[in-house]
Structure 1
Amino acid sequence: MVEVLIAGILLASALAAVSRISVAALSGSANLSERARIEAAINDNIQAMQKEDSYYTAERIIDNGGEEALKSACTNPPEKLSNHLQTVAPEPRLAAITRTFDIDSIPGILRIVYSFEGPEQQVKAEQRVIEMTPNFAAKCYSTR
């Protein structure tokens, strides 16, 4: 009878350990899936930003507002690109991601910062940062 009791206790403790490992694996899988969704949404939005920047050329600015519009844009290219992107580029598709535009940190560079909370318990706030030189800015400088 004692042997059966000891065997039952060992079996119960082994099953409890296996169930704990299974729950941890499922939790890790859910976190990994959520992280993949967040990263994919950020990457999609970055591609949209880069596409809109490549379309926003000096010729397009001139076509829509003349030479004066280009001169005005050339006074602060990151600000002009930021304003353009905020009007034409879509927001990130997940509400948990916030996107901010920074035109002042680096002269001539537009920084786009994506902030979100990591899905894992140990991970708090995270950021992804891209730096863009406005496509049209190359036409702002002359040697004359």
Structure 2
Amino acid sequence: METANLFLLLWAALAFWVLGQIWLVQIVIYPLFAEVGAADYIRYHRSYTRRIPLPVILPGFASFLLPALLAVYGPAVPLWMSAANIMAGLAGLLVTVLLEIPRHARLEKGGRNDAIISELIRYNWPRTVSISLQAVVTFLMLRHVFGAA
């Protein structure tokens, strides 16, 4: 198998991992933040942030940044696919850095705050959509490279 095609397959595994993860975060994990009592909240959030780097943060940031490398080193696909993948990754990165990380920091310092938790859920929707778009584009890339059969 060509290296470019292998890169696409590895990218697909990452993209679909992050897809499942972002929907779990959006539908289950972030809403559960509001179920933790105020007295235990800071301890809970610190425990959460200690546990997520390997399964969540590293794959997430990789999914934001690797589309540019895939466009250069991956197999030939229509330009719009690469562009959409890169733009969706950048959108996810911007939402993460500008909206989500600051809210997590506020929750970790100040404890439970229902308004911030609501913002975390609401502002995560664009990231959820961008990662979902990456998964759709990745599926189309796989079809383009490996055929519809």
**How would you bin the TM-score normalised by the shorter chain?**
0.3 to 0.5
- Structure number with greater Rg is 1
Structure number with the bigger relative contact order (C-alpha 8 A, sep ≥ 6) is 2
When you count helix as a share of all residues, which structure comes out higher?
2
TM-score, normalised on structure 2?
Answer: 0.33
